[in-house]
């Protein structure tokens, strides 16, 4: 493998029990035997496009230029109203359904372009109604890895026609910040949308209207099973508990309010 062979990452809600991800890899490797495949997540909650959007946004930043990202959480697969697209800023390539899965990427100011997937020559010959990842998106990723250019797959479409989900943004109120939980990870850490630059040591953090912790630096800033608030590895205020599941204990869920203020 020359080091320049692109990486293809895979993010889906397919789970790991049925072989669906392996099948997609078989299709990709049949077309692009040298592709290097990296799983980002396949255990997104079924049909949770919003969670996929966060995982792809958070994850893609750590892959080298030229990486191709297969991104599929697609409850409406096979609906006639829905198209597949390539989204690219010229450096990273995202392939998947145009159903809002790229929402958080599109929040970033870049030179985004979007191509509608219409060239069936670059799909599997028979396209099922329910497994476009195997029959369309996987082959498109493989052909991209093999050096096809985005224009080979179809025509560019206006960026303002690309689907975006509503985005919860934190806002400043005087000295304080009002935000919300946007993601909860497997440890029960609650990730907010309050950006790192707003977070000051010792400030008070509330979740769902009640004080939960002062701002520290890491999980272990608090005693065992107690809460801590800090800037997470993604660059936003996060609330966790030391060796315990903060979201479960506190009853936190995506959308819950978060407030950060001076003491």
For the chain, helix, strand, coil in percent to 5 are 25, 30, 45
DSSP bridge partners of 41: 11
User: Hunting for tokens 């943004």 — which residue is that?
Assistant: 169
Verify binding: residue 157, a copy of itself, rule CB under 8 A: no
What lies within 8 Å, CB to CB, of 127 at 6+ separation is 120, 135, 136
Which residues between 70 and 129 bind a copy of itself (CB under 8 A)?
A: 75-79, 128-129
Comparison of 76 and 151: residue with beta carbon closer to a copy of itself: 76
Q: Which of 100, 131, 141, 197 binds a copy of itself (CB under 8 A)?
A: 131
Please check whether residue 80 is in contact with residue 111, taking contact to mean a CB–CB distance below 8 angstroms: no
Query: What is the DSSP secondary-structure string of 102-126?
Result: THHHHTS-S--EEEE---GGGS-SS
x/- mask, a copy of itself, residues 42-81, rule CB under 8 A, reads xxx-xx-------xx-xx--xxx--x-------xxxxx--
Q: Count of CB atoms within 10 A of residue 256's CB?
A: 19
What lies within 8 Å, CB to CB, of 181 at 6+ separation is 190, 191, 192, 207, 252, 253, 254, 255, 256, 258
Q: Count of CB atoms within 10 A of residue 186's CB?
A: 7
Comparison of 9 and 193: residue with beta carbon closer to a copy of itself: 9
Verify binding: residue 17, a copy of itself, rule CB under 8 A: yes
For residue 149, the surrounding DSSP H or E stretch is: none
Verify binding: residue 18, a copy of itself, rule CB under 8 A: yes
Q: Which of 94, 177, 227, 230 binds a copy of itself (CB under 8 A)?
A: 230
Please check whether residue 187 is in contact with residue 240, taking contact to mean a CB–CB distance below 8 angstroms: yes
Verify binding: residue 9, a copy of itself, rule CB under 8 A: yes
Comparison of 30 and 118: residue with beta carbon closer to a copy of itself: 30
Could you tell me which stretch among 114-122, 152-160, 184-192, 200-208 binds a copy of itself (CB under 8 A)?
184-192
Verify binding: residue 25, a copy of itself, rule CB under 8 A: yes
Distance of alpha carbon 15 from alpha carbon 118, whole angstroms: 28
Could you tell me which stretch among 16-24, 108-116, 165-173, 201-209 binds a copy of itself (CB under 8 A)?
16-24
Q: How far is the CB of 38 from a copy of itself (least distance, A)?
A: 5
Residues that bind a copy of itself (CB under 8 A): 1, 3-5, 7, 9, 11, 14-23, 25-27, 29-30, 33-34, 36-44, 46-47, 55-56, 58-59, 62-64, 67, 75-79, 128-131, 134-135, 185-187, 217-220, 230-233, 238, 242-243, 245
């Amino acid at each position: 493998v020359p080091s320049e062979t692109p990486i293809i990452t895979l993010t889906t809600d397919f789970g790991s029990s049925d072989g669906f991800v392996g099948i997609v890899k078989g299709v990709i490797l049949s077309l692009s035997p040298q592709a290097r495949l990296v799983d980002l997540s396949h255990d997104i909650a079924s049909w949770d496009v919003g969670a996929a959007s966060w995982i792809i946004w958070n994850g893609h930043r750590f892959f080298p230029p030229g990486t191709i990202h297969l991104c599929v959480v697609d409850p409406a697969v096979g609906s006639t109203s829905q198209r597949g697209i390539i989204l690219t800023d010229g450096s990273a390539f995202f392939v998947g359904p145009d159903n809002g899965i790229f929402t958080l990427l599109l929040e970033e100011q870049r030179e985004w372009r979007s191509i509608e997937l219409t060239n069936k020559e670059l799909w599997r010959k028979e396209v099922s109604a329910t497994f476009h990842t195997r029959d369309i998106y996987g082959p498109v990723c493989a052909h991209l890895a093999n050096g096809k250019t985005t224009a080979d797959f179809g025509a560019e479409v206006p960026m303002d026609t690309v689907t975006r989900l509503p985005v919860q943004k934190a806002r400043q109120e005087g000295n304080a910040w009002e935000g919300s939980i946007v993601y909860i990870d497997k440890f029960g850490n609650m990730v907010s949308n309050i950006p790192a630059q707003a977070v000051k040591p010792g400030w008070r953090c509330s979740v769902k209207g009640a004080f939960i912790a002062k701002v520290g630096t890491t999980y272990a800033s608090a005693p065992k099973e107690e809460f801590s608030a800090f800037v997470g590895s993604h660059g936003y205020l996060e609330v966790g508990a030391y060796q315990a599941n903060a979201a479960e204990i506190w009853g936190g869920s995506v959308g819950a309010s978060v407030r950060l203020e001076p003491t």
